[in-house]
Amino acid sequence: MKVLLLFLTFNCCFSQAIIDTSYTIHSTYNKEVKKFPFIKKAVFPINNKVQLFNDVSYKTIQNRNLTLDIFIKKDNNSHAGVILIHGGGWKSGNKTQMHSLAHEIATNGFTCICVEFRLSDEAKFPAGILDIKSAIQFVKKNAQKYSINKNQIAVLGCSSGGQMATLIGTTNGNRKFEEHIENNNSDVQAIINLDGILAFNHPESQEGKLATLWLNGSYEEVPNIWKEASALEHCNSKTPPILFINSPITRFHAGENDMINKLRDYGIHYEVKNIANAPHSFWFFHPWFEEVVNSSTQFLNTIFNK
């Protein structure tokens, strides 16, 4: 009986999700304030214009419950939906890190959805992509409940989340990246990329350990997977409009110029916003936070004719 109990306890422990909590807004602040002493955290504001639904379950896989935090502007209108994807090198971070952006964008008349997804310690590529696409399907299925226009869905991501957002948008209609097909597909109509790479194996890219962990091997070991995970490889005539918001650090926009050339050839709308004198994680901090919110909402208003 003791042996059986021990086995069950051991099994139970290892069935839990492996969570890396090393990437936080606080740790990022402590790192960046040394170089940018004037920065302040963009604290999640509370007002009566927005309603928050916390930890809405959208998917269960291998006894793992994945959830969403949904921010809805309090009015009687249907709004474009914005899926927000956190950064953290595909290994760390969590959906609450997107709350401040979600709240402010929602205040401007959108329904914002912060997504929990499996990270690289728990599951390798393309698991996280499949999770987020499942979340998009869930949002479309429940569009009326959460005041969403399911034909107007944007995806916004920061750093590694920006890479994921752009890959999700450029694989519209690619059933290889969907676990199941329902009445509501996972297609999106706009992309906002905050300092996320577009190509893993690229002269401007310096991806190494974290990419190798997520992609389950180095470029030399699994070159096809590195290529498949690169949004640049999937850019096509059906790619939705894109807003690139860039820090001055070139390696975080590896492949962007190549992507822009493709978008021009296809006649697809794109915008580029360069943030001067800023760290990589500029979206967490004042004085850049408002600039990110304004650029994002203006772009979304343009695309969705609001």
Q: Quickly state the pLDDT bin for 2 (edges 50, 70, 90).
A: very low
Kindly list the structural domains of the chain, giving each domain's residue range(s) and its CATH number in brackets, ordered by start. 21-303 (3.40.50.1820)
Which residues are paired to 92 by β-bridges? Answer: 20
Q: Mean pLDDT, to the nearest integer, of 54-82?
A: 96
pLDDT at 24: 97
Tens digit of each residue's pLDDT (9 = 90 or more) over 219-265: 999 999 999 999 999 999 999 999 999 999 999 999 999 999 999 99
Q: Mean pLDDT, to the nearest integer, of 47-58?
A: 95
pLDDT: which is higher, 67 or 45: 67
The yes-or-no verdict on residue 291 having pLDDT over 60 is: yes
**Do residues 215 and 199 touch, judged by C-beta distance below 8 A?**
no
The structure tokens 């500029």 sit at 282
The yes-or-no verdict on residue 99 having pLDDT over 50 is: yes
The yes-or-no verdict on residue 8 having pLDDT over 50 is: no
Of 53, 41, 167, nearest in space to 106 by CA: 53
CA distance 9 to 181: 37
CA distance 279 to 78: 36
pTM: 0.93
Length of the chain measured in residues: 306
How many other C-beta atoms are found inside a 10 Å radius of the C-beta of residue 187? 20
One-letter amino acid for residue 223 of the chain: P
The structure tokens 């927000």 sit at 84
Q: Quickly state the pLDDT bin for 17 (edges 50, 70, 90).
A: low
